[in-house]
Structure 1
Amino acid sequence: MAANFRSDFNKHGRTGNMSRANDQTDGPTDSERTPLVNNSSTNSSLGNMGTNGGKPLYEDDRAWVRYPSSFVHLTWLVLKSNYVNVLLVFVPAGIILGALDLNPTAVFVVNFLAIMPLAALLSFATEELSAKMGQTLGGLMNASFGNAVELIVSIVALMKGEIRIVQASMLGSILSNILLVLGCCFISSGIMREESRFNETVASTMSSLMAVAATSLIIPATLYSSLTDSSADTEANVLVLSRGTSIIMLVLYCLYLFFQLKSHKKLFDAEAQEGGEDEATILGPIPATVCLVLVTLLVAVCAEYLVDSIDAIVQEAGLSKTFIGLILLPIVGNAAEHVTAVVVAYKDKMDLAVGVAIGSSLQIALFVTPFLVMLGWAIGQPMTLNFEPFETVVFFLSVLVVNYLIQDGKSNYLEGCMCLGTYIIIAIAFYVKPEDASSKIGAAVSQFFSSQ
């Protein structure tokens, strides 16, 4: 995702102004973008916690004054870094509703809304920490935590044996990025200009890896179909294939990171290509680490209550687990990032937008999904790459569509509408598809695979 794209991507997407250059451009009259730290002895806003002889309290010589003031000051800076943080009020509400075991629908909705700002904070803390670690380690940090919310939700679901939720969530995250996000980016950029351009070499490399990821899902589905009438242990054989394939996919992902961060890093260095400046950070290494740990724990708690309420939602609302995992849960993990991607594309930063959208999908396909297969192996859960045939075909066709659209390195609003239309069709298909239709659809697709 794309690690190098993430750094410049988040810099352009923040609502607050975190760079000195932008502060000077906007001027002192813009209260939102005026630096919180100034020399005015009359300013006593929450941002600088008042003054003491012309010095902000968070710079006071007295430790008992400096540390609490610094904590409040940094908290304020972090909270105003993204407008989506207003939804943080749902975090304590979601935890309380879940702890008291109240209405499952309320628990699901409130925790659904709570995870959105937590995802934004997780991305923010990761960026702040990775900026202090150098390009290579910073890239690895971004690669590891770029889809942390999806990973945490899936781990919680996997430990509870909800393998269908895990598989649907992984596929939904990929489809959400390559169709919904990419389509919205093309539209956002296309309404302002006739045509937008991006690095076709980078896009081609990423789309090729996505084709490999699609193949890794088609092969287990094909094997499962071919062993249907066999006397062999179908589940055991597919499990072995899935685990072996996962190891190879993880190796490919490591090679992709080396390709991106070391051997061919100039191709991915969007910030250098655009003459960007280094990003000014808010949090130091220790505060960023503390923020990362706390937010991760909160996401885990909210995710557990969210997953626990899914069964009740299925019964009360009549939604299938596949629809919840494939459409709703990916919106939770990627909502803040989706909005920022559209803003970046609107500013004609298409290399960043395309790199983030497709790069996120690569992380899910080549890292998160294989990791969950290996984790299931470790904890005794039979997590496999044998997705339902209908889901596999949908994934393959989506990758095919996106590959055709980005191969020329150009985009316009019509191509964005194509991506968005495809995603809506898929969403409707999974909305109307009942859970008990899996066997019938599987049989039809199995016959297709067997005839090839």
Structure 2
Amino acid sequence: MLTKRDFITLAVALLASTGTGIAVYAGLPHVLVFVSGAFALAGLAALIGDSTDHLGRHLGPAATGIVQSAVGNLPELCVCIFALRAGLVEVVQASLIGSILGNSLLVLGIAFLAGSARHKVLVFNAAGPRMIAALLLLAVSALMLPTLASIMHLPAGAHEDRLALVCAGVLLVVFFVSVRVMLDGSERTVPAEARDHEDGWPLWLALTILALAGVAALFVSDWFVEALTPAIEVLGISQAFAGLVIVAIVGNAVENVVGIQFALRNQAELAISVILNSSLQVALALIPVLVFASYLMGGTPFTLVVPPMLAVALMLSAIIGVVVTADGRADMADGAALVGLYVIIAAIFWWG
């Protein structure tokens, strides 16, 4: 049943979600709604992640991986859809890339720092994590091509809308193929041990919490996006920084605290697989879905042409993922370098 940590997560999500709703209907300042909504989304993301993990005891690791791919990024998906409806394309682009950066650099770096502080050097079988990292690099390469076509003024750069649809379609095909691979039990999946729980939730409880957290995410995301623009104007931060750091962390990276816990237990292979697989889901599933959704909703289309610095940062994070998994060893120096790079990238976008 529910552990002490589960109760804390549930309480934070419930109180923050309720507080955000009260703040909205009471007409309280947008900054308060923004901050409360951020805590609520972080808590809901953690709940959704926990729920899908506990489903693994009933559905098996492969099926759970598919469910996690479908609903694991639900809070961030909701935020991005509402942001697209509001015309905040820059925020959406930054938040999606920020999710990949936040996982591949910040969370992975903290995991290395925490694990190495306790165990000196983390040693792991590099085969599984390296395969996930390589697939992430391929996905990121596909995402970067429309930006390169635009920068280099190629003929395709004048057709960025249709090029985005082609790239999104290809990425979704790769995603469905990877799902098939998951069902075959390939090393590209997150190892089954990552979803083992001594005190698993009953099936009815996991499904109930997953459903309630999903519904709550819809409401909180709407409130959060409504308060986003007024709040960042008051706080004096740019839309790019808000998407790259704040929206990305509250919607995605918080749920990957479990990766840090695995590193603390000297289970580096599990830690890297969990963290990088989350980035892979964003690249292969979430981004293509939002491209097609933007056309169905009308309004400003969501293309894959992003600011050059975001594209460079995205590619760097994917390359680093392959490098750090190559030798099967990680220490505090690796962790410090990853976190430091993330801080530098975030600082660059503080001003826009």
What's the TM-score, normalizing by structure 1? Answer: 0.72
Which residue is equivalent to 1:205? 131
In structure 2, distance between residues paired with 1:265 and 1:202: 5
Which residue is equivalent to 1:137? 63
Q: Which amino acid counterpart does residue 51 of structure 2 have in structure 1?
A: A
Greater relative contact order (CA < 8 Å, ≥ 6 in sequence): 2
Deviates more, 1:310-319 or 1:396-405: 396-405
Which residue is equivalent to 1:406? 325
1:247 to 169, 194, 198: 169
Which residue is equivalent to 1:98? 24
- Deviation per residue, 1:374-411 (Å, 9 max, x gap): 11122224111111111101111222233222211111
Which residue is equivalent to 1:372? 290
Within the alignment, does 1:397 sit opposite 2:316 as a pair?
yes
- Compared CA separation, residues 174 and 140, structure 1 to 2 (3 A): same
Which residue is equivalent to 1:307? 225
- Compared CA separation, residues 264 and 80, structure 1 to 2 (3 A): closer
- CA contact 1:179–1:420 (8 Å) conserved in 2: yes
Q: Identity, % of aligned pairs? A: 29
Within the alignment, does 1:147 sit opposite 2:73 as a pair?
yes
Q: Which amino acid counterpart does residue 305 of structure 1 have in structure 2?
A: W
**Equivalent residue of 1:328, what SS?**
helix
In structure 2, distance between residues paired with 1:212 and 1:134: 28
In structure 2, distance between residues paired with 1:194 and 1:262: 35
What's the TM-score, normalizing by structure 2? Answer: 0.91
In structure 2, distance between residues paired with 1:250 and 1:412: 35
- CA contact 1:130–1:141 (8 Å) conserved in 2: no
Consecutive unaligned residues of structure 2, counting only runs of 5 or more, are none
2:265 to 347, 360, 371: 347
TM superposition shift of 1:277: 6.6
- CA contact 2:106–2:342 (8 Å) conserved in 1: yes
In structure 1, distance between residues paired with 2:311 and 2:219: 31
**Equivalent residue of 1:329, what SS?**
helix
Which residue is equivalent to 2:46? 120
In structure 1, distance between residues paired with 2:190 and 2:228: 39
Which residue is equivalent to 1:70? none
- Deviation per residue, 1:142-180 (Å, 9 max, x gap): 221222221121122122222111111100000000000
Which residue is equivalent to 2:8? 83
TM superposition shift of 1:80: 5.0
**Equivalent residue of 1:81, what SS?**
helix
2:211 to 273, 293, 303: 293
Which residue is equivalent to 1:166? 92
TM superposition shift of 1:95: 0.7
Q: Which has the larger helix fraction?
A: 2
Consecutive unaligned residues of structure 1, counting only runs of 5 or more, are 1-17, 19-76, 435-452
Mapping for residues 207-356 of structure 1, pairs under 5 Å: 207-227=133-153, 234=158, 237-262=159-184, 264=186, 268-271=190-193, 279-285=198-204, 287-334=205-252, 336-356=254-274
Q: Which of these two proteins has the greater Rg computed from alpha carbons? A: 1
- Compared CA separation, residues 120 and 330, structure 1 to 2 (3 A): same
- CA contact 2:37–2:223 (8 Å) conserved in 1: yes
**Equivalent residue of 1:407, what SS?**
coil
In structure 1, distance between residues paired with 2:60 and 2:324: 34
How many residues get paired?
A: 350
- CA contact 2:107–2:253 (8 Å) conserved in 1: no
Mapping for residues 380-395 of structure 1, pairs under 5 Å: 380=298, 381-395=300-314
